[in-house]
């Protein structure tokens, strides 16, 4: 069955080592040229700045409650403040960082470049999507300064609809409005991928990042409206007393959980799938090898998007849901684990007989594979019925989803940012500090979240302001790790900003990478991306092993 | 560092059954992650790019390998699904002859009532070696009754009963937590579970109040006028209730259900929801007249009408 190919019929194109005189960043300088831009690349930069700010805000909330958790007593914050901190951390990180991170920043920047288009299909809609995020973000800030929110990001009824004393209705509207940013971005990307690929760029010649974005867009379009409706219904119940979820009004609180997780589980894949796409690009580039099992990785993204819609009930094994429903959701959950495992094996095998370069993005990518493997395997613990009973709603769950969301998605986002930064800015950041920083983040991350697996297994429930003294050791380690992680996340801000002014000129292709964005675009790209519509006549990732770095 | 930091107390039959699954999966995860890490580093160093070496990358495709590493995880995943499913079946199927205790959760305390009416708050005293069934409801938001040492947990919902069972295997005192976020004082909504020898439990119960839930329920049954329609032997206006608990009942729409705590509760609080075949929905709704404790007592009484002597 095995067949080996070398790609010696494809030449490595000439590189351009200088920056172009005119590019998308410098051809206009006015504020309106940014705030009213229809250029997908500038919109990507707007998203980058926006979500970086939200990431810092979300991180600040986490820093505050991690300090509270140093001691078992609730002594730094009062209980209500603590509850608001973890709620806002969840809301901000999920709706304003994780969901828009790779799709809206890297997706916006790269999608047209990778498929040889001049822009996305609907540039005005694209700008509008960013404004929706800004409106939603303004509402979130208003929410924070007018008393916050203390329902948990999950908004479970009847706590949210009847008992909470914070501004749940505003929070519901915030999530509702922000969701449209995600829906419209997904729609835009889906149409772009279908209609605007360069001549010759057939589906199986597409970079795997595009496959991942495609799968993500499907979930955004089909899933997000459901959470928007659900949260809005909860808001309506709260304000007008219409009984939908509150049993005292004739509603059903378990119905809320079904509707909420129908979106919010697939949303996990909105967060991780684009990360997987970025990892495929980076592993291929720095292995100097075509991705092993291209079709398997491509179809596993689609499989995850589809099966991911059928597993939501695994959040509800002890909710009062029927036992038989539990069986169905558990077996489907086991099935959805398989495509993720396939990806991990194919990425690893891509290194085989390649020419591996341990550049900064590759360090993040390798770190991603390891951490995502832990996140995925611990998902099995929670997906099987009998074992979820003790682990549900404990710190084991918190550790698991942070391994996927931070160890997976944030690492992938940082990998992608380090990979495409020279393309986005035309400047190269200093390598050694960046590599040290990647290691610091990896260590800090594990120190923060690994102890939480143990705290959870020992029985510590999540969302606890004060806790049993037996759990203190794990919380002290976790808080110490959060300090390291905080430093690790801050340093890149400085060297990225530094590189804008003092960084070496990157040239069109500093990594020796393959793909239209590297081979046919300058760094930074031209305002119109390509002077001539590119024609593609070969597979993705035709690496030969002889590509060299120029960093 | 001692072992107690990593290995939680194991104090119920379910804990004894579920722990091997946890440790087996942990071992599997360690082998998988260590193996993967080793492989990544090994391949990354063995095939490191040496500029000028002239070695070209070789792209390999191997369908047999693809199918193997798709099939093996699928088989492992299905295997552990079965293991977990069997345990869950045990966990959800309550054995006969349980000691029945009522639990009411409210912001932010647990109220416990024993079969003879003895009450506790934030403390649960149970005998060792006997299956205990908790019938639970909430007066306000969602809560979750969680005893880590027993590895059991069940959400507690307003206007509905959920049940959970366990059998303690060790005498001692174990923490009890609320696991479902329930508002301001969520983290203090906990308490202690005391496991005592059965004889000690009986002795402890004997010091309790005189009115059992069954007796309190009987008194309510009389004072609320339930007997007007549900008197013993008279099935003209409403079904009589003797021998009904645990038996099957056919509804007007032809559905057949087994009469359990939840159905009895629903029939008192929302009587028109599931009317027995042959009757018209006449019964008024008692939501405003009975609190959760009253309903628990009535359920206990109606249950006692079907007790096999």
When pLDDT is cut at 50, 70 and 90, the band that residue B209 belongs to is: low
When pLDDT is cut at 50, 70 and 90, the band that residue A194 belongs to is: very high
Q: Distance (Å, rounded) from C-alpha A421 to C-alpha A506?
A: 9
Q: What is the ipTM of this complex?
A: 0.91
- Expressed as residue numbers, the domain containing B290 is 213-304
Nearest Cβ partner for B44 among A296, A349, A351: A351
Report the pLDDT value the prediction gives residue A388, as an integer from 0 to 100.
96
Looking at beta carbons, which residues of chain B come within 8 Å of A352?
43, 47, 60
DSSP A261: H
Both B140 and B13 in a single domain?
A: yes
Q: Rounded to a whole number, what is the distance in Å from the CA of A47 to chain B's nearest CA? A: 33
Look at residues B181, B210, B239 and tell me which one is the last residue of a structural domain: B210
Chosen for mutation from B16, B87, B152, B186 (greatest number of chain A CBs closer than 10 Å) is B186
Contact B152/A at CB under 8 A = yes
**A506-518 tens-digit pLDDT:** 999 999 999 999 9
Q: Mean pLDDT of all residues in chain A?
A: 93
Q: Distance (Å, rounded) from C-alpha A5 to C-alpha A3?
A: 7
Does the residue B187 lie in any domain? yes
* Helix, strand, coil share (%) of chain A residues, nearest 5: 70, 0, 30
Comparing B209 with B74, which gets the higher pLDDT? B74
Look at residues B210, B239, B254 and tell me which one is the last residue of a structural domain: B210
Contact B64 A1 (CB under 8 A): yes
Does the residue B53 lie in any domain? no
Both B24 and B121 in a single domain?
A: yes
Averaged pLDDT for residues A357-380: 96
**A162-192 tens-digit pLDDT:** 898 899 999 999 999 999 999 999 999 999 9
Domain count, chain A: 1
H/E/C letters for each residue in B8-23?
CCCCEHHHHHHHHHHH
Does the residue A314 lie in any domain? yes
Both B169 and B184 in a single domain?
A: yes
Q: Residue A516, exposed/middle/buried by CB under 10 A (0-12, 13-18, 19+)? A: buried
3-state secondary structure at position B200: helix
**Statement: residue A8 has pLDDT above 70:** no
Does the residue A13 lie in any domain? no
Does the residue A18 lie in any domain? no
Does the residue B258 lie in any domain? yes
Contact B183 A159 (CB under 8 A): yes
Does the residue A547 lie in any domain? no
Both B134 and B191 in a single domain?
A: yes
**A400-458 tens-digit pLDDT:** 999 999 999 999 999 999 999 999 999 999 999 999 999 999 999 999 999 999 999 99
Report the pLDDT value the prediction gives residue B223, as an integer from 0 to 100.
83
- Expressed as residue numbers, the domain containing A511 is 38-519
Does the residue B278 lie in any domain? yes
Domain count, chain B: 2
Both B39 and B180 in a single domain?
A: yes
Q: Which of residues 68-107 of B touch A (CB under 8 A)?
A: 69-70, 73-74, 77-78, 80-81, 83-92, 107
Report the pLDDT value the prediction gives residue A13, as an integer from 0 to 100.
58
Both B12 and B119 in a single domain?
A: yes
**Statement: residue B236 has pLDDT above 90:** no
Chain B residue nearest residue A541, CA to CA? B59
Report the pLDDT value the prediction gives residue B197, as an integer from 0 to 100.
94
Both B23 and B170 in a single domain?
A: yes
Both B281 and B245 in a single domain?
A: yes
Both B197 and B226 in a single domain?
A: no
Q: Rounded to a whole number, what is the distance in Å from the CA of A392 to chain B's nearest CA? A: 8
Looking at beta carbons, which residues of chain B come within 8 Å of A473?
5
Both B294 and B189 in a single domain?
A: no
Does the residue A282 lie in any domain? yes
Is the Cβ–Cβ distance between A533 and A413 less than 8 Å?
no
Closest CA to B143 of B94, B188, B174: B188
Does the residue B50 lie in any domain? no
Look at residues B210, B234, B257 and tell me which one is the last residue of a structural domain: B210
Q: Which of residues 212-271 of B touch A (CB under 8 A)?
A: none
Is the Cβ–Cβ distance between A372 and A405 less than 8 Å?
no
Contact B61 A152 (CB under 8 A): no
Does the residue A540 lie in any domain? no
Does the residue A52 lie in any domain? yes
Report the pLDDT value the prediction gives residue A14, as an integer from 0 to 100.
65
Q: Rounded to a whole number, what is the distance in Å from the CA of A34 to chain B's nearest CA? A: 41
Both B106 and B134 in a single domain?
A: yes
**A268-293 tens-digit pLDDT:** 999 999 999 999 999 999 999 999 99
Chosen for mutation from B14, B175, B187, B287 (greatest number of chain A CBs closer than 10 Å) is B187
CATH of the domain at B218: 1.10.760.10
Instruction: Output the six-digit token pair for B7.
Output: 């290995």
Contact B60 A3 (CB under 8 A): yes
Is the Cβ–Cβ distance between A292 and A350 less than 8 Å?
yes
Q: Rounded to a whole number, what is the distance in Å from the CA of B211 to chain A's nearest CA? A: 29
**Statement: residue A3 has pLDDT above 60:** no
**Statement: residue B216 has pLDDT above 90:** no
CATH of the domain at B118: 2.60.40.420
Q: Distance (Å, rounded) from C-alpha A398 to C-alpha A392?
A: 10
Does the residue A21 lie in any domain? no
Looking at beta carbons, which residues of chain A come within 8 Å of B51?
548
Is the Cβ–Cβ distance between A430 and A499 less than 8 Å?
yes
CATH of the domain at A248: 1.20.210.10
Both B220 and B238 in a single domain?
A: yes
3-state secondary structure at position B175: strand
* % of residues, chain A, pLDDT over 70: 97
Contact B12/A at CB under 8 A = no
């Amino acid at each position: 069955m095995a067949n080996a190919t070398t790609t010696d019929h494809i030449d490595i194109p000439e590189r351009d080592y200088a920056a172009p005189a005119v590019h998308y960043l410098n051809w206009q300088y006015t504020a309106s040229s940014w705030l009213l831009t229809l250029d997908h690349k500038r919109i990507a930069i707007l998203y980058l700045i926006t979500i970086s700010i939200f990431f810092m805000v979300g991180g600040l909330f986490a820093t505050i409650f991690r300090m509270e958790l140093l001691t078992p007593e609730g002594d730094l914050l009062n209980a209500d403040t603590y509850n608001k901190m973890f709620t806002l951390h969840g809301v901000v990180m999920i709706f304003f960082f994780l969901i828009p991170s790779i799709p809206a920043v890297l997706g916006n920047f790269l999608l047209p470049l990778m498929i040889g288009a001049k822009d996305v299909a609907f540039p005005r809609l694209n700008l509008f999507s960013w404004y929706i995020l800004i409106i939603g973000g303004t509402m979130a800030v208003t929410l924070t300064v007018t008393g916050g929110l203390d329902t948990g990001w999950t908004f479970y009824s009847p706590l949210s609809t009847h008992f909470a004393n914070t501004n749940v209705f505003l929070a519901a509207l915030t999530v509702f409005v922000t969701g449209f940013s995600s829906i419209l971005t997904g729609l835009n990307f889906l149409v772009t991928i279908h209609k605007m690929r360069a001549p010759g760029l057939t589906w199986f010649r597409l970079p795997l990042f595009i496959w991942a974005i495609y799968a993500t867009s499907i979930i955004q379009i089909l899933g997000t409206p459901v959470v928007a409706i659900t949260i809005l219904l909860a808001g309506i119940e709260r304000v007008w007393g219409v009984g939908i979820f509150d049993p005292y009004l004739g509603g059903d609180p378990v119905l809320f959980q079904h509707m909420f997780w129908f979106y919010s589980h697939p949303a996990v894949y909105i967060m991780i799938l684009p990360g997987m796409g970025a990892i495929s690009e980076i592993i291929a580039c720095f292995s100097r090898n075509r991705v092993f099992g291209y079709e398997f990785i491509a179809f596993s993204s689609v499989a995850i998007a589809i099966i991911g819609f059928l597993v939501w009930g695994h959040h509800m094994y002890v909710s009062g849901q029927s036992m038989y429903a539990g069986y169905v959701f558990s077996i489907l959950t086991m099935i959805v684990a398989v495509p993720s495992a396939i990806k991990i094996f194919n990425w690893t095998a891509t290194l085989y007989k390649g020419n591996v370069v341990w550049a900064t993005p590759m360090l993040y990518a390798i770190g991603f594979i390891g951490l995502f493997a832990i996140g995925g395997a611990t998902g099995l613990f929670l997906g099987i019925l009998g074992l979820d009973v003790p682990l549900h709603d404990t710190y084991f769950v918190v550790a698991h989803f942070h391994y996927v969301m931070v160890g997976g998605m944030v690492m992938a986002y940082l990998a992608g940012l380090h990979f495409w930064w020279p393309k986005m800015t035309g400047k190269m950041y200093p390598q050694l500090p960046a590599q040290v920083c990647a290691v610091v983040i990896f260590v800090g991350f594990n120190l923060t979240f690994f102890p939480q697996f143990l705290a959870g297994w020992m029985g510590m429930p999540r969302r606890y302001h004060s806790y049993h003294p037996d759990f203190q050791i794990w919380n002290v380690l976790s808080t110490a790790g959060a300090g390291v992680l905080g430093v690790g996340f801050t340093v890149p801000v400085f060297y990225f900003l530094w590189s804008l002014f003092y960084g070496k000129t990157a040239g069109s292709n500093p990594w020796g990478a393959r793909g239209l964005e590297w081979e046919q675009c300058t760094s930074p790209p031209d305002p119109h991306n390509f002077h001539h519509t590119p024609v593609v006549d070969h597979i993705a990732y035709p690496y030969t092993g002889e590509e060299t770095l120029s960093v | 560092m001692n072992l107690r930091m990593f290995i939680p107390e194991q104090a119920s039959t379910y804990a004894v059954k579920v722990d091997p699954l946890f440790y087996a999966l942990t071992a599997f995860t360690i082998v998988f992650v260590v193996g993967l890490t080793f492989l990544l580093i090994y391949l990354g160093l063995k095939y490191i790019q040496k500029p000028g070496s002239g070695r070209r990358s070789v792209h390999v495709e191997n369908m047999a390998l693809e199918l193997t590493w798709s099939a093996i995880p699928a088989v492992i995943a299905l295997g552990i699904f079965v293991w977990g499913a069997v345990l869950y079946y045990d966990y959800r199927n309550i054995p006969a002859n349980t000691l029945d205790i009522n639990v009411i959760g409210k912001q932010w305390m647990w109220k416990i009532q024993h079969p003879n009416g003895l009450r506790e708050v934030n403390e649960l005293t149970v005998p060792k070696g006997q299956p205990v069934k908790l019938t639970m409801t909430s007066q306000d938001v969602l809560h979750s009754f969680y005893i880590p040492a027993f590895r059991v947990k069940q959400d507690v919902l307003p206007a509905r009963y959920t049940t959970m069972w366990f059998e303690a295997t060790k005498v001692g005192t174990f923490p009890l937590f609320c696991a479902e976020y329930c508002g301001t004082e969520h983290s203090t909504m906990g308490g202690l579970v005391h496991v005592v020898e059965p004889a000690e439990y009986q002795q402890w119960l004997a010091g309790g109040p005189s009115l059992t839930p069954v007796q309190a329920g009987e008194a309510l049954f009389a004072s609320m006028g339930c007997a007007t329609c549900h008197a013993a032997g008279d099935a003209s206006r409403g079904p009589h209730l003797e021998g009904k608990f645990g038996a099957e009942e056919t509804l007007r729409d032809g559905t057949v259900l087994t009469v359990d705590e939840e159905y009895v509760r629903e029939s008192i609080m929302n009587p028109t929801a599931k009317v027995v075949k042959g009757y018209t929905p006449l019964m008024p709704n008692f939501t405003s007249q009975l609190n959760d404790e009253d309903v628990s007592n009535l359920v206990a009484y109606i249950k006692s009408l079907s007790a096999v002597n």
